[in-house]
Amino acid sequence: MKFALNHMTAPAMPVADFFALAISLGITAVEIRNDLADNAILDGTAPAEIRRLAADRGVEIISINALQRFNEWTDARAGEADELIAYARDCGAKALVLVPKNDGTGLKDGERQQNLREALSALKPRLEATGVIGLVEPLGFAVCSLRSKQEAADAIREVGGENVFRLVHDTFHHHLAGEPAIFPALTGLVHISGVTDPSVAVADMRDSHRVLVDPADRLDNIGQILALQAAGYNGPFSFEPFADSVHALSDPSAAVKASMDYIRAAI
């Protein structure tokens, strides 16, 4: 398996230390984020500096996570997209994650598909011009304007975007969405995290419940990983836990290694 590490695994860790953490685990693929206070990218670190740090430590930046509310296309969103795509290009990131609005708006049938096509059509030439891939990430929440990977795949084909867009298969969101179909040929990245709290209903699961994958996982990460591999997916599986209990770990390296060992043994 090719594991990757999202900076959300240790969000308080400076980016240079985060890259070093990945290498210490034998992981060479990393995701950086634009939503971590006092950290790259929000702290103003120049993309050239991120590129240098990654090269010095021998990691590949596979994505920046993320352009939020991408399917609500406005002049402001276009500006955000241009800035992030340029940052991705200049820091050496291969892709930009595209996250849909998740606030209960834009849910109507017809409206949400049109909004999605509009955004993809606007993003397509911007991505083509820079060589950056757009990673569309459907979210499983009932209030999300893009829950379905099928809907995302259809829209990508409709705008002729197969050369610049891929899907993110997030094991947490896939479980919540209840959509059985997977799209291995169109999948560019898999996010993995587990939920172990036995008391929370699936409909009530939130990012705060997302921990590292272990034997108590309720999301069937192992089954999802096996299905994706069997269908031909051979890209990275990136750890993306959001729970405070993970972020507070004094030794994240040991915890991630334990999760890697469990997953490898289980598959």
Burial of 265 (0-12, 13-18, 19+ CB in 10 A): exposed
How confident is the model over 86-98, as pLDDT tens digits?
A: 999 999 999 999 9
Which pLDDT band holds residue 11 (cuts at 50, 70, 90)?
very high
Whole-number percent of the chain with pLDDT over 70: 100
Which pLDDT band holds residue 45 (cuts at 50, 70, 90)?
very high
**What residue spans define the domains of the chain?**
3-266
How confident is the model over 214-234, as pLDDT tens digits?
A: 999 999 999 999 999 999 999
How confident is the model over 147-197, as pLDDT tens digits?
A: 999 999 999 999 999 999 999 999 999 999 999 999 999 999 999 999 999
Q: Which CATH superfamily is domain 3-266 in?
A: Divalent-metal-dependent TIM barrel enzymes (3.20.20.150)
3 state DSSP class of 252: helix
The whole-number pLDDT of residue 206 equals: 98
Burial of 89 (0-12, 13-18, 19+ CB in 10 A): middle
The whole-number pLDDT of residue 4 equals: 98
How confident is the model over 124-147, as pLDDT tens digits?
A: 999 999 999 999 999 999 999 999
Terminal C-alpha separation, the chain: 10
Whole-number percent of the chain with pLDDT over 90: 99
The whole-number pLDDT of residue 119 equals: 98
